[in-house]
Amino acid sequence: MPVSLLWAVDVYGRVYSLSTAGQQWEQCRNSQMEFKRVTAAQTCCWGIACDNSVYLNVHASDLPIRYQEDTYENQRWNPVDGFSDRLLPSDRWQWSDSSGLQHQPLNGFQLPSSTWEWEGDWHVDENLEGEPTEKEGWTYAMDFPAAYTKDKKWNSCVRRRRWLRYRRYKAMDTWAKIPSQQTTLPDPFSDISCGGWEISEEPGGRLSLWAVSLQGKVWFREGISHHNPEGSSWVEVPLPGEVVQISCGPGDLVWAVLWEGQLLVREGISRDNSKGTSWAVVESPNPEVGAIHVAVGMNVVWAVTKDNKVWFRRGVNSHNPCGSGWISMVGEMAMINVGLNDQVWAIGCEDRVVYFRQGITSSELSGKTWKAINVPRDGDRSHSSASASSLHSAGCFFSGEVRAPSVASDAELDIEHPPGDGAIISSAVLEEEVVPGEGEVNVLSSDAITCTQSGGPPDPQWSNVDLEEAQIQHVQTGAVPDSADSCSLSSVATYTLALEDQYGADEHPLWAWVSGGGCSVDSHSQLNWFNSMLQSVQSMSLSVSPAQTAAWRKQIFEQLTERSKREMDNFRHYEQAIEQSVWVKKGAMQWWRDWKPHKWIDVHFALEQFSGADGNKDGILFIYYNYHEEKKYLHAFINEVTILVPVLNHSKHTFAIYTPERTKQRWPIRLAAATELEMYDWLALLSVSCCDSRGIQGPPSKQAIWSITCKGDIFVSEPSSALEATPYPTPCDQMFWRQVGGHLRLVDCNSLGIVWGIGYDHTAWVYSGGYGGGFFQGLASSTDNIYTQTDTKSVYIYENQRWNPVTGYTTRGLPTDRYMWSDASGLHECTKTGTKPPSPHWTWVSDWAIDYSVSGGTDREGWQYAADFPASYHGFKTMKDFVRRRRWARKCKLSTTGPWQEIPPIQLSDVTILPCSAQSSVDVVPLWAISNKGDVLCRMGVTLLTPAGTSWLHVGTDQPFKSISIGAASQVWGVARDGSAFYRGSVSPSAGDCWYHIPSPAKQKLKQVSVGRTSVYTVDENGNLWYRQGVTPSYPQGSSWEHISNNVRKVSVGPLDQVWIIADKVQGSHSLSCGTVCHRLGVQPMDPKGQSWDYGIGGGWDHITIRGNSMEPSRICLSSMTDPSPQAPRSPLPVRSTESSSALNLTM
């Protein structure tokens, strides 16, 4: 789990953060002032400072926040001037937006605030829907508005071109003030809460920000998104009463507390309406004592009443945001906060300690116990100066403190609440530190002074003073405070720290506010927050010298080797005391029988293992079955098994065994075990046997070929030098694949052994050097380098409806129609309740929700319309549409183990590593990636020792990308989302300078690109494989696309220009398989396109990378491999020369 931060404010107004991996509170140094509230999201933190302004702290990221401004320059042709800016009076502006309605001169663009800066100057966009335009970027049309083309025709009377400029948000990791709207915000904010990032599928950055003003009004910040982190404006939300505090969860929950102690629940919050529609009132947990504080998460609501009692709201969810009842919880808290995963933090009302609620799981949302977070703060002594300066700067501090008055000195102000009442109250009160002798001492300071011990330096005294009062004092607007007003808000309480030593607070920080909205922990997280100082030091020292490098460990390894030498080396001719014997393991299984009608039949299964003549273990598999009352068996030699594939679903625990023969047939031996455990026992055992028989042990080699199935399972194969031999390579179906733990969507590697993967949830992972994990326990798995890996994906089902003239669209279809709830094909019924996660390893983590991100678009309710099933759907209703459907998505999560370590925080959709030869000594390996937002990124600091690299460098593009590949000589090719290709010259050592736009093959949108030594291959969205013709050192962009094959899903081109694909629809003798690994035969330097395909393992393969295999074919002995670092910087492809020599070798 990536490191994330818990934020807190102490009673002095200083902001601290605590890392989930850390053991001390780090002070937020760059804040110039004190804060009273903070509310955190994962990407940023909002706060209210003591100047009552709202501040935003956007966490620095390798991925910059940049916004593309564009405007159009319009021209019309006239016989005199040709094309000129003299337009007709009826025409659009000379500079306008795309529609022509908005006047947009270049100099009219202003930076929205001082936190933005321009990235460069305006430039012309020379790209029209994936097609490069002429140099000037003009696009032509007959008239405005019309369809524009890149070619000028005889009737082109108008033309326009698009200008682009980027602005970048620069205020990273600092508190930037949100400009206030003086006219509409008469009173300052007292509370703030952000959340709502889960309600739309929009990736990171969009959030809802709610604020409460001192007068009890609620405001909503409009327009916060990734590209606009500050939002655009405050909108007041009408209220039935006066609110003191508000809380917004990550989803659609928003609760607020009224002055009177009841709670408000916002209803109608949805994807289309993040502000919601109306308020519902929920009574306080205790009718006698009003609520004072509320905190909401995804599915939980916690509240604190004025007597500091903690309450948990039962039955809260999206459909019932009000919940059903209160449960009283243990503990007395001043405030409470719900963070990610519904985890809860609170601040104790007496001790001011931050507590973490332990044991909160999705099934036990109320958790088990409060545990104090007990870690030191950084720079213990340094804060004395901070404290001093704070005295100087403002003299006022904030807290959500609710206290009974310890000194009844406020009677004259506290009109509404008789002093005896005791419950004084507000979270909007602020504590004011009063320093005798300070110029700005207000009326109340006299009260405070009375309790100041005389003599010595002034001890800080704390009093709760209402902010209105303080405001007036500070601003000095009114000569006399409006007593009625202040009375309505008045709540004065003094809180004496009662500390002998002002700095004694160091021993025990006093916290005022905590926010876990950016803190990603769950009940399984290993946190070091609760240890005492002593232990933390010890565990730190342990981590400094990990067991792997310890001297004791080395000593044991060395001595054991020495012992073997001493005791065994000279006595190898002695007889062994124990005879080798055959070991048979038997079990009952079911087998998907080979003959028709195919069905599962009960069989006996046996594995016999023995030691082969060469000392390697070998074995035979037997399947004993009955055929027409006759006992028969089927067998397979372990050393012929090429792969074991687990096929787990809810009804059966099955796995498939392939041999070369079975691969040709496309018909594996399919077996089902009685239980999942039994299946994995067998798989682990068979896997060990297969590896033993082939003498394979330990982690995959650097040359290994990696592949991934559609289930996310990861397989590796060790290539031999014969694999790429010509003319007789090892047939693909003889390759042996073994599984590696983990769950990925794609993987890339190079021959230095650097391997990166990307999960279904776009998380980036780097290979740790281990093997095993997953169900490989014990011996089949390395002990080190195995980590927990999680992945999430969505399961989709479709709701189908048919229109009839009487009732409109209904759930009653025609008898011939598909199920009203079905999968995408319509062939299988999939109901909301009946649909299960893909396998028992997955668990649901969300509820069913309408999915609006369907290609073709949807209407506001998510429906797509069509004339009939099955057809192409569109997102609006026409007269001819008689059916409609909408997609529902539900997220599920998998937790497994494997040799993978997470690389937070940026989510990726593609990654590519420079292929290089095993011998080459590359210091820093170029690694490029695409973020899931489409940004092109270059990883810095990737070396053999630090395969994870250090940071990302953002590489600007004018549009989002979806695929990237880096080939020899560090040439980078990419595919943009519009389906066109881009080429970028040598990117090593710098990141290159510009993109060359390369049009896609006619009428095709490219999907994926892979670049090898000299070959460039792409796959388009219709499954065509294209080879780039005419790529030469002097013209590395090439000249045209040549069609190679169809039915291709993915391509991987290796360091020797070897070409491997995942192909659809490969016909075997018994069956057809989709998603099949195929190898291009006959690829030679003079014939890089190859001749034909050889078919390997298949049936559900999704991804392959052969970019680690730089093993030259066995016959050929090259003196030097391709050196990926270009010797001649002028020539992007210096490899051609070496390659021609290899061509000679080949033909010899």
Partner 1 sequence: MLSVLFMTAGSCAFFRVHLCAGGPCSLCPTGKSNSSTMADDKDVLRDVWFGRIPTCFTLNPDEVTEREAEAYYLLLPRVSYLPVVTDKVKKHFLKVMRAEDVEEMWFEYEGTPLKWHYPIGVLFDFHASNTVLPWTITVHFKNFPDEDLLHCSSNSVVEAHFMSSIKEADALKHKSQVINDMQKKDHKQLWMGLQNDKFDQFWAMNRKLMEYPTEDGGFRYIPFRIYQTLSDRPFIQKLFRPVSPEGHAHTLGDLLKEMYPDALTNDGEQKRYQVLIHGIEPLLETPLQWLSEHLSHPDNFLHICVVPVPTD
Residue 698, interface with partner 1 (CB under 8 A)?
yes
When the beta carbons of 480 and 613 are compared against partner 1, the nearer one is: 613
Secondary structure of residue 486 in the 3-state scheme: helix
Residue 406, interface with partner 1 (CB under 8 A)?
no
Residue 200, interface with partner 1 (CB under 8 A)?
no
Between CA 1098 and CA 1078 the distance in angstroms is 9
- Following DSSP, what letter does each residue of 925-974 receive, concatenated? --EEEEETTS-EEEEES--SS-TT-SEEEEE--SS-EEEEEE-GGG-EEE
When the beta carbons of 361 and 531 are compared against partner 1, the nearer one is: 531
Residue 577, interface with partner 1 (CB under 8 A)?
yes
The residue from 404, 441, 499, 685 that contacts partner 1 (CB under 8 A) is 685
Q: Measuring CA to CA, which residue among 978, 972, 957 is closest to residue 1011?
A: 972
Residue 534, interface with partner 1 (CB under 8 A)?
yes
Residue 535, interface with partner 1 (CB under 8 A)?
yes
When the beta carbons of 688 and 922 are compared against partner 1, the nearer one is: 688
Residues 472, 478, 483, 484, CA torsion sign = negative
Non-local CB neighbours of 611 within 8 Å, separated by 6+ positions: 580, 617, 618
Task: Choose the binding region for partner 1 from 37-45, 323-331, 544-552, 1080-1088 (rule: CB under 8 A).
Answer: 544-552
Binding mask 881-910 for partner 1 (x = CB under 8 A): ------------------------------
Q: Cα separations (Å) of 840 from 649, 717, 783? A: 7, 27, 25
Task: Choose the binding region for partner 1 from 47-55, 460-468, 614-622, 1059-1067 (rule: CB under 8 A).
Answer: 614-622
When the beta carbons of 654 and 709 are compared against partner 1, the nearer one is: 654
How many CB atoms are located within 10 Å of the residue 29 CB? 13
- Following DSSP, what letter does each residue of 598-665 receive, concatenated? P-EEEEEEEEEEEE-TTS-EEEEEEEEEEETTEEEEEEEEGGG--EEEEEE-SS-EEEEEE-HHHHHH
When the beta carbons of 616 and 1040 are compared against partner 1, the nearer one is: 616
Bridge partner list, 1093? 1080
Residue 783, interface with partner 1 (CB under 8 A)?
yes
When the beta carbons of 358 and 1047 are compared against partner 1, the nearer one is: 358
Q: What's the min distance (Å) between Cβ of 775 and partner 1?
A: 13
When the beta carbons of 741 and 1075 are compared against partner 1, the nearer one is: 741
- Beta strands at 25-27 and 15-19: parallel, antiparallel or unpaired: antiparallel
Which residues 739-778 are close enough to bind partner 1 by CB under 8 A? Answer: 777-778
DSSP H or E segment with residue 901: strand 900-903
The residue from 576, 872, 1127, 1147 that contacts partner 1 (CB under 8 A) is 576
Task: Choose the binding region for partner 1 from 135-143, 533-541, 756-764, 1007-1015 (rule: CB under 8 A).
Answer: 533-541
Residue 70, interface with partner 1 (CB under 8 A)?
no
Q: Largest Cα–Cα distance of the chain, in whole Å?
A: 108
Residue 562 phi/psi, 5° resolution? -65, -40
Residue 1129, interface with partner 1 (CB under 8 A)?
no
Between CA 735 and CA 742 the distance in angstroms is 21
Residue 153, interface with partner 1 (CB under 8 A)?
no
DSSP collapsed to 3 states, 418-442: CHHHCCCCCCCEEEEEECCCCCCCC
Residue 241, interface with partner 1 (CB under 8 A)?
no
The residue from 324, 581, 1069, 1127 that contacts partner 1 (CB under 8 A) is 581
Between CA 905 and CA 522 the distance in angstroms is 17
Residue 857, interface with partner 1 (CB under 8 A)?
no
Q: Does residue 780 contact residue 684 with C-beta atoms inside 8 Å?
A: yes
The residue from 320, 561, 811, 990 that contacts partner 1 (CB under 8 A) is 561
Non-local CB neighbours of 833 within 8 Å, separated by 6+ positions: none
Residue 1136's identity, in one-letter code, is R
Task: Choose the binding region for partner 1 from 455-463, 492-500, 555-563, 973-981 (rule: CB under 8 A).
Answer: 555-563
Q: What's the min distance (Å) between Cβ of 570 and partner 1?
A: 7
When the beta carbons of 113 and 535 are compared against partner 1, the nearer one is: 535
Residue 523, interface with partner 1 (CB under 8 A)?
no
When the beta carbons of 721 and 794 are compared against partner 1, the nearer one is: 721
The residue from 30, 555, 1022, 1029 that contacts partner 1 (CB under 8 A) is 555
Q: What's the min distance (Å) between Cβ of 30 and partner 1?
A: 36
When the beta carbons of 684 and 916 are compared against partner 1, the nearer one is: 684
Q: Measuring CA to CA, which residue among 487, 379, 430 is closest to residue 48?
A: 430
Which residues 642-681 are close enough to bind partner 1 by CB under 8 A? Answer: 678, 681
Residue 697, interface with partner 1 (CB under 8 A)?
yes
| DSSP secondary structure letter of residue 323 | -
The residue from 80, 147, 544, 551 that contacts partner 1 (CB under 8 A) is 551
Q: What's the min distance (Å) between Cβ of 371 and partner 1?
A: 14
Q: What's the min distance (Å) between Cβ of 748 and partner 1?
A: 25
Straight-line distance from the first to the last Cα atom of the chain, in angstroms, rounded to the nearest whole number:
55
Which residues 584-613 are close enough to bind partner 1 by CB under 8 A? Answer: 584-588, 608, 610-613
Q: Give how many residues touch partner 1 by CB under 8 A.
A: 68
Q: Measuring CA to CA, which residue among 184, 72, 69, 73 is closest to residue 116?
A: 69
Q: Does residue 918 contact residue 751 with C-beta atoms inside 8 Å?
A: yes
The residue from 574, 628, 834, 1086 that contacts partner 1 (CB under 8 A) is 574
When the beta carbons of 781 and 801 are compared against partner 1, the nearer one is: 781
Residue 183, interface with partner 1 (CB under 8 A)?
no
983: which 2 tokens?
Answer: 């080429």
Residue 695, interface with partner 1 (CB under 8 A)?
yes
The residue from 475, 560, 814, 827 that contacts partner 1 (CB under 8 A) is 560
Between CA 750 and CA 973 the distance in angstroms is 17
The residue from 580, 1022, 1039, 1046 that contacts partner 1 (CB under 8 A) is 580
Q: What's the min distance (Å) between Cβ of 607 and partner 1?
A: 10
Task: Choose the binding region for partner 1 from 111-119, 469-477, 535-543, 726-734 (rule: CB under 8 A).
Answer: 535-543
Task: Choose the binding region for partner 1 from 21-29, 264-272, 527-535, 1000-1008 (rule: CB under 8 A).
Answer: 527-535
Residue 1148, interface with partner 1 (CB under 8 A)?
no
When the beta carbons of 577 and 1144 are compared against partner 1, the nearer one is: 577
Q: What's the min distance (Å) between Cβ of 588 and partner 1?
A: 6
Q: Does residue 930 contact residue 942 with C-beta atoms inside 8 Å?
A: no
Q: Measuring CA to CA, which residue among 117, 110, 224 is closest to residue 178?
A: 224
Burial class (CB in 10 A: 0-12, 13-18, 19+), 344: buried
Return the beta strands (E) in 1054-1148 as ranges.
1059-1063, 1066-1067, 1072-1073, 1076-1081, 1092-1098, 1101-1105
Residue 552, interface with partner 1 (CB under 8 A)?
yes
Secondary structure of residue 466 in the 3-state scheme: strand
When the beta carbons of 586 and 1065 are compared against partner 1, the nearer one is: 586
When the beta carbons of 319 and 572 are compared against partner 1, the nearer one is: 572
CA–centroid distance for 281 within its chain: 36
Q: Measuring CA to CA, which residue among 428, 293, 289, 296 is closest to residue 349?
A: 293
Residue 358's identity, in one-letter code, is Q
Q: Does residue 205 contact residue 226 with C-beta atoms inside 8 Å?
A: yes
CA–centroid distance for 303 within its chain: 31
Footprint of partner 1 (CB under 8 A)? 531, 534-535, 538-539, 542, 547-548, 550-553, 555-557, 559-564, 566-568, 570-588, 608, 610-613, 615-616, 618, 620, 637, 678, 681, 684-685, 688, 692, 695, 697-698, 777-779, 782-784
